[in-house]
Chain A
Amino acid sequence: MSNIHGKAYALNTISPMQPWKTYILRLFFWFWGIYKPLGDGLKQLSFIHFARWVIVPRHGFPWLGEPQPKNDLRYDYLLFFSNFNGTWNQYIDAFSAVLYDGLNLIWRWSEKFPGSRPVTPFKNFIVRGQPETTYYYTAYPHATTNDVKAAHRVQAALQEFAKGSQGLPPDKFADAYLQFLMKVQGDLGETGEAPVGT
């Protein structure tokens, strides 16, 4: 299935919006870009590598001249792309449980958005606007977002330890090594194949 590569899932959703409503949504995104509550919320979830929202105005789908026919759309479109860890159901459930306020503010401008709670109509809405991913690539398929963040912490601690322990006598080295172990012990999970889920 092309939506999944290793531990990453590629979700796409596309939903129509009345053109006048997109100005309101742009204002929210502008605010969130400055004051960061949405980015902080996504960071706390810690299972999304990358995500983006793209508003395409009804005249904004690329037109490259003849012979391509011109689109004549009534709606602007909100495109959402996410690269997350876990299953589709886990992801939507977590979104609905934790970020429901933010989600409602983003999608309430889309036609027929039922709200992010209860979760079943919300899932139906997502499914309806979800084109399948045709090809999906990730440079580190066996690592989750948490694995990546933990690995960078280990890497920083290792370099600090290797530099700081140079020239120490064995006894002092062993003490410093113990301190290093205590520092990294929570970040030493093994990466590998993803478990099978739905």
Chain B
Amino acid sequence: MPNKSGTIYGLTILSPIKHEGHIDTSHSLAIRKYLHKLPADGRGPFGKVSSTHMARLVVLDDVEYFGMPSCEDHLKSRYLIFESNFDGELETYLNDLATKASEEVHGIWQHCIGYPGVQNVPAFIAYMKRCQVETTFYFADVNDKTVEQTLVALQRQSAVASFIEKNQGKPPAELHRAFGEFWARLQKAPPPKPGSTPGKEFTDKLL
């Protein structure tokens, strides 16, 4: 299935944006303004839907003309492109978007044609699926690890590097005890939050 690589799903959605009526701010500009103010780290909508590895939103005004001898071509609607790479299945993900990031999802998609709101979750899922386009070829370099597994691995990598540095040259008995304590703390540590966590902050607390 081209939409999937291993356990990662590659979602591509093209939502037509409402046409400009007699309004002060066009809908496409309103989306741009809203997205400009939205935090791009873990406080944003995709940090709340923690199965998201990477996601983007693009306001597409039109397709480009590449010059003669090709012909000019124009879209009759602007589109909001939503590209996401996440763990698991599509329906679960869309359900999470509607319930965990409902305010932001509404803030963005309220400017799109046919958007039914997020209160009626099945209707929202059906709407997003109508706007989905099938991926033709999908590549994920690491395609068998979840977001949480990757964040834990990154912080453990940082922690191990610091542990090695701080315990150089210690006698075997002391090293043995230090590692036992380190490993116990590491296992009890809460999983890091997605979106903005540099490894060193965690490591400094741990050691």
Contact = CB atoms under 8 A, between A and B. Distances in A.
Given A56-B133, A129-B66, A50 B172 contact: no
8 pairs of A and B residues whose beta carbons are closest in the complex: A64-B114, A170-B172, A139-B194, A174-B172, A111-B70, A151-B153, A112-B66, A155-B153
A54 B46 contact: no
Interface stretch (B48-56, B91-99, B117-125): B48-56
Contacts, number: 273
Given A61-B14, A140-B151, A134 B139 contact: no
Given A39-B139, A174-B176, 14 more contacts: A8-B54, A48-B141, A62-B15, A111-B66, A112-B67, A134-B35, A139-B195, A152-B145, A152-B150, A170-B176, A177-B179, A181-B164, A188-B160, A193-B198
Contacts of A38: 137, 139
Contact of A140 (B45, B77, B130, B194): B194
Interface size class of B (residues with CB under 8 A): 35 or more
Interface string A127-171: 011011111111111110101111110110010001001001011
Nearest to B155: A151
A16 B76 CA distance: 16
Given A50-B141, A52-B135, A64 B152 contact: no
Given A12-B58, A137-B55, A50 B73 contact: no
24 contacts: A12-B56, A12-B58, A14-B63, A38-B137, A53-B137, A64-B130, A68-B16, A125-B66, A132-B58, A134-B36, A137-B47, A137-B52, A139-B46, A140-B150, A148-B153, A149-B141, A152-B142, A152-B153, A154-B153, A158-B160, A171-B172, A177-B175, A184-B160, A191-B158
Interface in B162-182: 164, 171-173, 175-176, 179
Contacts of A197: none
B158 A190 contact: yes
B88 interface: no
Contacts of A154: 153, 156-157, 160
Interface of B: 2, 8, 10, 12, 14-16, 19, 31-32, 35-36, 38, 40-41, 44-47, 50, 52-61, 63-64, 66-67, 70-71, 73, 75-77, 79, 81, 83, 85, 113-114, 130-131, 133-142, 145, 147, 149-154, 156-158, 160-161, 164, 171-173, 175-176, 179, 183, 194-200
